[in-house]
Amino acid sequence: MTWQDIVFSIGQWVFIIALIPSVVSKDKPALSSSLMTGSVLAVFAFTYFTLSLWMSGASTILVAAIWFILAIQKCRADKATKNSPQ
């Protein structure tokens, strides 16, 4: 384990903590932003794994998963809004 792996991992955990309010809130980021961010982070995670930065890869996968969860929540919220009578 290198010091870079530790630094990247700590940074990703800070992002995880920062995203928790968005997951539990009714307000969600735009669907396109969530999907793009999750996808780019998944590519970053793959890259970390190929560099044997295991902790960084694992923590980045978690952050990507949270962004995909936000995308799912936004999609469901948009469908609920369209289906509700006005």
Per-residue pLDDT of the chain (86 residues; tens, 9 = 90+): 799 999 999 999 999 999 999 999 999 999 999 999 999 999 999 999 999 999 999 999 999 999 999 999 999 999 988 877 76
Does a structural domain hold residue 45?
Answer: yes
- The three-class DSSP label of residue 58 is helix
Does a structural domain hold residue 69?
Answer: yes
Does a structural domain hold residue 54?
Answer: yes
Which pLDDT belongs to residue 27?
Answer: 93
- By the 8 A CB rule, do 23 and 67 touch? no
Give the structural domain span for 62.
27-79
Which pLDDT belongs to residue 86?
Answer: 62
Does a structural domain hold residue 65?
Answer: yes
Residues 6+ apart with CB under 8 A from 64: 37, 38, 39, 41, 42, 45
Give the number of other Cβ atoms within 10 Å of residue 71's Cβ: 22
**Into how many domains does the chain fold?**
1
